[in-house]
Structure 1
Amino acid sequence: MEKAKDKVRHQLFLPRHLSDRLAALATRPGASKSSILVDALTAWLNRRGASDLEDRFAIRLDRLTQAIGRVDRDTYLLLETLALFIRFELAIQTPLAENDQAGRALGAKRFEAFVTQVARQVSTGRRTLAAKTDDGE
């Protein structure tokens, strides 16, 4: 329970219609003008604090939302490209014969070279689909 010395007296001027409503609320059992005003001011300050936080983080959240949208778009583009490439390759490549060991060895060698190239590109940070370089590639 708060002590009288922990409280500060304020003089407020309210419009007549608010003063009348406050007086009507204060006539209820257990209510007082001070307690009603303390509750109302506390609620208003809490909402204001939440609003300030929302205002401060809204810009950053909007930027993150846009970045996630770009990542989602780029991922969709990459997956669609990969799917179309695989469909194209499967449509034009004839399957290897069951006993074609030389063809399978060549395929394994090409796959290993492909994986090595991907690892090299990722480790150096280079991008194949990046904007044109200065040498016109």
Structure 2
Amino acid sequence: MKSKHTFRLSPEVARYLSDYAARKRVSQAELVEAALVSFLSPDGSERMEAAFSRRIDRVMRQIENLDRSVEIGNEALALFVRFWLTANPPLPDSAVAAAQAQGKERYDSFLEALMRRLGTAERLVR
């Protein structure tokens, strides 16, 4: 047997309750009862804290993986630039303009290849 209670809600909260009940196809009384049971449950806050802890742990692991990937990318780029600068002698002044024009063409084709690669699921790390 259920007891009857009367309480007042602000128009905004009443609208949220009504909309949510309609979306879930349950009565407003059932929603209020479930919310009160959850709120008044002695272990409710502990369950919520445990759920938050699990989510935070998952996000932290993802951030650590992302940090490692960025670090690997940065180190690879730095190593490449170091070897490139070591292996390539400076150009004579007469060849600079031609090298810059060829460099622009190569860079444009590199960007096109990068865009195509990013458009697919294929990645070097995978």
The TM-score normalised by the length of structure 1 is 0.55
- Percent identity over paired residues: 33
Cα offsets for 1:10-55 (capped at 9, x unmatched): xxxxxxxxxxxxxxxxxxxxxxxxxxxxxxxxxxx79854322111
CA RMSD across the alignment: 2.1
2:69 is the counterpart of 1:74: yes
**Which residue in the other structure is 1:52 paired with?**
47
The one-letter amino acid of 2:104's match is A
**Which residue in the other structure is 1:111 paired with?**
107
2:90 is the counterpart of 1:95: yes
Deviation at 1:95, TM superposition (A): 2.1
2:80 is the counterpart of 1:85: yes
Task: Give the direction of change, closer, same or farther, for the CA distance of 1:98–1:61 in structure 2 (3 Å limit).
Answer: same
Mapped partners of 1:129, 1:118: distance in 2: 15
The TM-score normalised by the length of structure 2 is 0.59
The one-letter amino acid of 2:115's match is A
SS in 2 for 1:111: helix
Q: Across the two proteins, how many residue pairs are aligned to each other?
A: 86
Mapped partners of 1:125, 1:106: distance in 2: 30
Structure 2: give runs of 5+ residues left out of the alignment: 1-39
The one-letter amino acid of 1:73's match is R
SS in 1 for 2:92: coil
Say whether the 8 Å CA contact 1:96–1:104 is kept in structure 2. no
Say whether the 8 Å CA contact 1:121–1:127 is kept in structure 2. yes
Structure 1: give runs of 5+ residues left out of the alignment: 1-44, 131-137
Task: Give the direction of change, closer, same or farther, for the CA distance of 1:66–1:102 in structure 2 (3 Å limit).
Answer: same
The one-letter amino acid of 2:124's match is T
Structure with higher helix content: 2
Mapped partners of 2:121, 2:93: distance in 1: 39
